[in-house]
Structure 1
Amino acid sequence: LESIGLVQKIPVEIGQKVSKGELLLTLDQESEKIALQNAQNSYQLALVEYENTKSKMQKIKAVENVIDKQSYEDMKAKFDAANLNLNKAKINIAYYKNIMTKKELRAPYDAIIANKFIQVGEGVGGVAQPLIEIFSYPQSKLILSFDEKYKDKVKLGDDFFYKIDQNGTELKGKISLIYPSIEVKTRKIYAEVQTTNLTPGLFGEGRIITKD
């Protein structure tokens, strides 16, 4: 979160599936709600004044050639001021809506709630503070490793057959990413396979089918 404050609401539970954009956490917004309501009231008043001066301005323009210049300039000044106040009111509404948005945490993608590190009523102090842990769901990825001697054989798009447990059905995926570096300690290269509906943290075994 970009804001600080007290947690007002956490409408999700651990294990719950959430969609992209779904609300995960809200900080207290009472003062912002009041300010937004005042800004909206000011906008309505400014709109009435703008429409009123706009109507008068149109009438004066129709007889501009037969009225004195000062009367025209005075009316134009009132119309310009009303237009300025209306735009200012619009900006204030957008400003407070933006502040309120920054006090909301929403899911960046379809996911499952893995953990919550804060409770309602507790304070949030800054961007670096962990609040809620999520894992991508149903889309997820497998992290696999293979010996460096195969670095020139394994390619993007190669088939990967795997089992999550010994008695499980063999599944198939394709290598979607190969890490560019070799793990110094193990001399292994890591790669990723996109998959679905897997619980984070599971282990298994598999084999890569290369095209060479």
Structure 2
Amino acid sequence: MPSLKRILLSLMLLALSLQAEEIYATFNVEAAQHADLAFTTTGTVEKVNVDVASVVKKEDILAELDNSDLKAALDISTIAMKYAKRDYERQVKVKKLVDASRFDTYAFKYEHSKAQVAYQQALLDKTQLKAPFDGVIYEKSVEVGDVVSGAMIRTVMKIQSLKKRKLVLAVDQKYWKVLKPGLTFRYSVDGDNTVYTGKISKVYPYANDANRKIKAEIEAEGFTPGLFGDGYILLPDAK
């Protein structure tokens, strides 16, 4: 017996047009954005600020390595830059009265001190794992006290967009000439009898030679990534 989902979908499409030409497609739900996060330096995890299902904002610090030595080094570099800047500014005021090579020495010391501050800040930043975009943590495999290695990088967290999703369609390659952005897709998701409508936003520029399918994308919201569904793409004369 056909499922209720399939019956509802077929009846709606039939009501739209008995002569409608349609292209059947299946799809998987994926997060619009997702990323595997890892430390790129070596150290001991000192703080873990999130857990699975934590909602985060871009640049939030998710976890942090013990970095007291790097903070001290940054403080030292900042102080050195402060006094190098003062010396340089004094020399600028009397530039016409001093030897050019002497002036260049002070200019070099100031520029070098700025570079040192930037370098120490970069080292410190590597000890902080930050969210690359607004989203939700959906996997975590790190705890306080764990040791991570920059030489053997491993994923410690995974993040995905909170609500924005994309439906990745698989369409028979024989429709490559008519498949294009803007076409209407009417579909339902496994476990949900509601019939949804979306527009194709992207068509992948190749056909998979293993399954003879072309991929396309539909923008969506709210569905759980990993779900499966199917539906029909309506060609222009079906609108």
Range into which the TM-score falls when normalised by the shorter chain: 0.7 to 0.9
Structure 2 gaps of 5+ residues are: 1-38
For residues 4 and 52 of structure 1, what CA distance do their matches in structure 2 show?
41
Sort the Cα spacing of 1:175 and 1:85 in 2 relative to 1 into closer, same or farther, 3 A.
same
Residue type at the aligned position of 2:126: K
Of 38, 41, 51, the match for 1:3: 41
Q: Is the 8 A contact 2:40 2:149 kept in 1?
A: no
Following superposition of structure 1 onto structure 2, how do residues 179-190 of structure 1 map, counting pairs within 5 Å?
Answer: 179=204, 180-182=206-208, 184=210, 186-190=211-215
Sort the Cα spacing of 1:110 and 1:168 in 2 relative to 1 into closer, same or farther, 3 A.
farther
Q: Which moved more, 1:188-197 or 1:111-120?
A: 188-197
For residues 140 and 21 of structure 1, what CA distance do their matches in structure 2 show?
21
Bigger relative contact order, structure 1 or 2 (CA pairs below 8 A, ≥6 apart): 2
Q: Which residue of 1 aligns with 2:156?
A: 131
For residues 22 and 211 of structure 1, what CA distance do their matches in structure 2 show?
45
For residues 28 and 168 of structure 1, what CA distance do their matches in structure 2 show?
51
SS at match of 2:122: helix
Sort the Cα spacing of 1:36 and 1:210 in 2 relative to 1 into closer, same or farther, 3 A.
same
Q: Which moved more, 1:117-126 or 1:46-55?
A: 46-55
Q: Which residue of 2 aligns with 1:69?
A: none
Sort the Cα spacing of 1:167 and 1:202 in 2 relative to 1 into closer, same or farther, 3 A.
closer
Q: Deviations for 1:31-61, whole angstroms, at most 9, x for unmatched residues?
A: 2111100001111222333334444x26xx4
Q: Which residue of 2 aligns with 1:85?
A: 109
Q: Which residue of 2 aligns with 1:45?
A: 83
Q: Which residue of 1 aligns with 2:170?
A: 145
Q: Which residue of 2 aligns with 1:33?
A: 71
Q: Is the 8 A contact 2:172 2:212 kept in 1?
A: yes
Q: Which residue of 2 aligns with 1:170?
A: 195
Q: Which moved more, 1:187-196 or 1:132-141?
A: 187-196
Q: Deviations for 1:182-209, whole angstroms, at most 9, x for unmatched residues?
A: 352x443332212122221222332211
Deviation at 1:4, TM superposition (A): 2.1
Residue type at the aligned position of 1:82: Y
Residue type at the aligned position of 2:160: F
For residues 82 and 216 of structure 2, what CA distance do their matches in structure 1 show?
58
Q: Deviations for 1:138-186, whole angstroms, at most 9, x for unmatched residues?
A: 22211222333333332222111222245443222222233312352x4
Q: Deviations for 1:100-152, whole angstroms, at most 9, x for unmatched residues?
A: 22233222233221101222221222364111112223222112223333333
Query: Root-mean-square deviation (CA), in Å?
Result: 2.4
SS at match of 1:48: helix
SS at match of 1:204: strand
Q: Which residue of 1 aligns with 2:121?
A: 97
Sort the Cα spacing of 1:53 and 1:149 in 2 relative to 1 into closer, same or farther, 3 A.
closer
SS at match of 1:39: helix
Identity %: 33
For residues 200 and 162 of structure 2, what CA distance do their matches in structure 1 show?
19
Number of residue equivalences: 197
For residues 189 and 66 of structure 2, what CA distance do their matches in structure 1 show?
43
Deviation at 1:93, TM superposition (A): 0.5
SS at match of 1:95: helix
Q: Which moved more, 1:166-175 or 1:89-98?
A: 166-175
So what's the TM-score if we normalise by structure 2? 0.71
